[in-house]
């Protein structure tokens, strides 16, 4: 049922939008991974999964499961519920179990949708899961215009995988400071994929004059 639902959703995405995939060669072929993406719309989970082979899971707020039909659909697409703002630690255990069973995991570290299209501050949940499961993190950038509408051009960029062991000691209770370093790394990579390299600051008139005098 998962693959039937995934195929149907993929066809729907191709009809609704003009989707371009970049960097699929960055997705490891020898292991399952955590895909960490920026978050802009409710269409993000199926969009992110467009370039992912095999089964995957993703977290969805529990309110989405109240509609029986929609809840059935997203469950069959790998979703599992999370109670936001309630300290739901069990969801981390579920995420680790899914990874250890061979599935990929899709996660949106910002925790909520960006209203201005920019990448905002992220959370360390993906870092905790990556360390506990000892799986790499592949950053993803979903790039499109101000609003998502019919036939919008969307570029899905898959970045280079990040090995959590390079930042955090692999264990069940990782060091919080090390987790922050890992979190900062994948958030920086996501931001780079979405927003590109920052433009160099322009010289002020005084600085230009001083350089000319030299």
- For the chain, domain boundaries: 2-196
pLDDT (0 to 100) of residue 187: 97
pLDDT (0 to 100) of residue 203: 47
- Grouping H, G, I as helix, E, B as strand and the rest as coil, residue 171 is coil
Its CATH class, for the domain covering 2-196, is alpha beta
pLDDT (0 to 100) of residue 157: 96
pLDDT (0 to 100) of residue 53: 86
Integer Cα distance of 198 and 168 in angstroms: 28
- Tell me how far apart the 2 most distant CA atoms of the chain are, in Å: 73
pLDDT (0 to 100) of residue 87: 58
**Is 165:134 a contact under the CB 8 Å cutoff?**
yes
Buried b (16+ CB within 10 A) or exposed e, 90-129: ebbebbbebbeeebbbbbbbbbeebeeeebbebebbbbbb
**Is 20:155 a contact under the CB 8 Å cutoff?**
yes
- Residue 60: in which H helix or E strand, if any? strand 56-61
Lateral strand order in the sheet of 79-82: 18-22, 153-158, 137-143, 34-37, 104-107, 56-61, 79-82
pLDDT (0 to 100) of residue 201: 63
Please list the rounded mean pLDDT of every run of 10 residues in the chain (214 residues). Answer: 87 92 94 96 87 88 88 88 71 93 95 91 94 96 91 95 94 89 97 85 52 52
pLDDT (0 to 100) of residue 194: 96
Strands 153-158, 137-143: parallel, antiparallel or unpaired by DSSP?
antiparallel
pLDDT (0 to 100) of residue 135: 96
């Amino acid at each position: 049922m998962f693959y039937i639902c995934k195929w149907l959703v993929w066809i729907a995405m191709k009809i609704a939008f003009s989707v371009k995939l970049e960097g699929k060669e960055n997705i490891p072929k020898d292991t399952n991974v955590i895909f960490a993406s920026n978050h802009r719309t409710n269409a993000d989970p199926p969009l992110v999964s467009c370039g992912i082979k095999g089964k995957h899971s993703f977290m969805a707020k529990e309110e989405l499961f109240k509609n029986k039909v929609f809840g059935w659909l997203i469950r069959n697409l790998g979703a599992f519920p999370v109670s936001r703002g309630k300290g739901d630690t069990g969801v981390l255990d579920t995420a680790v179990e899914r990874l250890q069973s061979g599935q990929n995991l899709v996660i949106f570290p910002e925790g909520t949708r960006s209203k201005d299209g920019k990448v905002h501050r992220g959370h360390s949940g993906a870092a905790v899961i990556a360390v506990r499961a000892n799986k790499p993190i592949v950053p993803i950038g979903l790039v499109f215009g101000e609003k998502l509408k019919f036939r919008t051009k969307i570029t899905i960029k898959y970045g280079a995988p990040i090995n959590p062991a390079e930042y955090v000691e692999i264990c069940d209770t990782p060091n919080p400071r090390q987790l922050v370093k890992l979190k900062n790394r994948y958030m920086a990579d996501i931001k780079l994929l979405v927003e590109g390299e920052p433009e160099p600051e322009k010289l002020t008139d005084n600085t230009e004059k001083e350089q000319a005098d030299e």
